[in-house]
Amino acid sequence: MGVHDGLDLARQDWFGSAEWDRDEDAWGRAWAEAYLTFAATEKRAWLRERGVTFFPVVGWAERGGYTASGHGNSVPRFHITWGTGPGILEPFIDAVRAGVEAGRVELRFRHRVDELVVEAGAVVGARGAVLADDDAERGAASSRDVVGDFEVRGAAVVVASGGIGGNHELVRAAWPDWLGTPPEKMLSGVPAHVDGRMLGISETAGARLVNGDRMWHYVEGIENYAPVWEQHGIRILPGPSSMWFDATGARLPVPLFPGFDTLGTLQYLRELGHDHSWFVLDQAIIEKEFALSGSEQNPDLTGKSVRELLRQRLGRGATEPVEAFKEKGPDFVVADTLDDLLAGMRERNDGIELDGTRIAVELGARDRELANPFAKDLQVVALRGARRYLGDKLIRVAKPHRILDPKRGPLIAVKLHVLTRKSLGGIQTDLSARALAADGAPVPGLYAVGEAAGFGGGGIHGYRALEGTFLGACLFTGRTAGRAIAAAL
């Protein structure tokens, strides 16, 4: 795709985003260095060996908008797995199933760990409740009825229980001061099983939890019109052209454009104190720039269908899932005139006064900036810069045009909510994925991987992420733990 990237540039961006400032960051930082080296060397070949391939157009997430040493990706890096989430899981599930067939692996579904078994200071197993069978669909909350109990023992115990994003009580309790107050209304970007219980259970067994106040929530959440779990929200993966307004109708400041700085935008909006904000765009922008996060929202990529992909992404209109949200989603307002659009926004503005004149002035001023190939408005400048990257030009960034041009219509406004997603902190681990105690020594027998370990070390990302780095770090921490345990046995 003509992108020149490398270890030094990746480190510059990662460290510029992480802004580590705590003693306990030493392990997160060491994991970041190890992960960057993995990503720059063997990661691609290792995944290919397992049959994992990628959609060829690399996406540009978290564009930053600050100086070169600040937050964000200097270049596009977001690789979408061919087959999305299920595609990345496939080879690993196959390996586990082969283990089951060979009698080396036993799967115990519906077993909920409530306690880690500690003997003479070492973690030697887990015990908990056996839950009643339930045929709930994937992601839907299942019954918590207890029908029995269990205890398992092993030479090593690996906590791989994920984050806390499905437990709003925990999210609120851990919310840091620098992000203002948590919104009264939040959507859940993860299913209810992401409940954070295992973190407390691991702490009771001797593990040190760090950076619980670092979290990664999105500001572009929309209510799912067909929810699978409670308060189910979907994240819009926005291209950079939509105009972003707060709940009163003021445009967000530079560089808080769509897809530039997730937490910077969250911080700004929480300081203002309203729970929602607005994108204003048009049909031409939604068609090229709106994507939705989640395997079920990308049936072409998840189903690995090139024909569907070409039809959905290069054909007329937005993708079918985006069009469905536009039609049925409660957060979408579609109108032929700005007056009608503003009327629809007011109806959904939760009683907050919306300054329509201000929105009209901002849209008019921004549109006037398009008369020349150069401009003052930094969002317009960024759009033109983005289109110099082939991937953005092909499928991600609409040709700059006047939003109020009726030929590009209808006009669209989207009400955006805060959507909980990832926990950046967790169980502190060393570079062998061994859980560490408060004194810095490994807790014998205990390992932690994935989101439960803050994706490595209890916080591989520091304060902010570059995006797309979560699954990669889950794989890397899991592989590291597996190798360390095999070597120790």
Ligand X SMILES: Cc1cc2nc3c(=O)[nH]c(=O)nc-3n(C[C@H](O)[C@H](O)[C@H](O)COP(=O)(O)OP(=O)(O)OC[C@H]3O[C@@H](n4cnc5c(N)ncnc54)[C@H](O)[C@@H]3O)c2cc1C
- CA-CA distance, 255 to 262, in Å (whole number)? 11
C-beta of 404: minimal distance to ligand X in Å? Answer: 34
- 193 interacts with ligand X by CB under 6 A: yes
Question: Taking contact as CB under 6 A, which single stretch among the options 91-99, 245-253, 402-410, 446-454 is the one that binds ligand X?
Answer: 446-454
Task: Classify the C-alpha dihedral 74-75-76-79 as positive or negative.
Answer: negative
- 160 interacts with ligand X by CB under 6 A: yes
Local structure of 389: helix, strand or coil: coil
- CA-CA distance, 345 to 280, in Å (whole number)? 10
- 279 interacts with ligand X by CB under 6 A: no
Packing angle of the helix pair 7-18, 25-40 (nearest 10 deg) = 150
Q: One symbol per residue from 99 to 128: x for binding ligand X (CB under 6 A), - otherwise; what is it?
A: -------------xx---------------
Show contacts with ligand X in window 319-348 (CB under 6 A). none
C-beta of 84: minimal distance to ligand X in Å? Answer: 8
Asked whether 457 and 429 are in contact (CB, 8 A), the reply is yes
Binds ligand X by CB under 6 A, chosen from 13, 289, 362, 451: 451
Binds ligand X by CB under 6 A, chosen from 59, 189, 456, 458: 189
Q: What is the 3-state secondary structure (H, E, C) of 109-138?
A: CCEEEEEEEEECCEEEEEEEEEECCCCCCC
C-beta of 187: minimal distance to ligand X in Å? Answer: 12
Counting Cα atoms < 13 Å in the Cβ hemisphere of 421 gives 22
* Nearer CB in complex with ligand X: 113/403: 113
Binds ligand X by CB under 6 A, chosen from 124, 198, 199, 292: 198
Local structure of 289: helix, strand or coil: helix
- 194 interacts with ligand X by CB under 6 A: yes
DSSP H helices, 167-226, are: 168-174, 197-204
Question: Taking contact as CB under 6 A, which single stretch among the options 304-312, 316-324, 332-340, 469-477 is the one that binds ligand X?
Answer: 469-477
Give the residue from 290, 214, 248 showing the smallest Cα distance to 464.
214
Cβ-proximal residues to 334 (8 Å cutoff; 6+ apart), any chain: 326, 344, 410, 411, 412
Cβ-proximal residues to 96 (8 Å cutoff; 6+ apart), any chain: 105, 107
Binds ligand X by CB under 6 A, chosen from 74, 242, 293, 349: 293
Q: One symbol per residue from 401 to 430: x for binding ligand X (CB under 6 A), - otherwise; what is it?
A: ---------------------x--------
Binds ligand X by CB under 6 A, chosen from 294, 344, 426, 462: 294
Binds ligand X by CB under 6 A, chosen from 28, 321, 450, 454: 450
Packing angle of the helix pair 356-368, 338-347 (nearest 10 deg) = 140
- 256 interacts with ligand X by CB under 6 A: no
* Nearer CB in complex with ligand X: 293/312: 293
Beta bridge partners of 222: 234
Binds ligand X by CB under 6 A, chosen from 55, 218, 470, 476: 470
* Nearer CB in complex with ligand X: 294/458: 294
- 190 interacts with ligand X by CB under 6 A: yes
C-beta of 125: minimal distance to ligand X in Å? Answer: 13
Give the residue from 485, 481, 461 showing the smallest Cα distance to 36.
461
- 471 interacts with ligand X by CB under 6 A: yes
Instruction: State the DSSP string of 423-480.
Output: E--EE-B-TT-EEE-TTSSEEEEEEE-GGGBTTTTT-TTTT---SSHHHHHHHHHHHH
Question: Rule CB under 6 A: which residues touch ligand X?
Answer: 112-113, 160-162, 189-190, 193-194, 197-198, 293-294, 422, 450-452, 468-471, 474
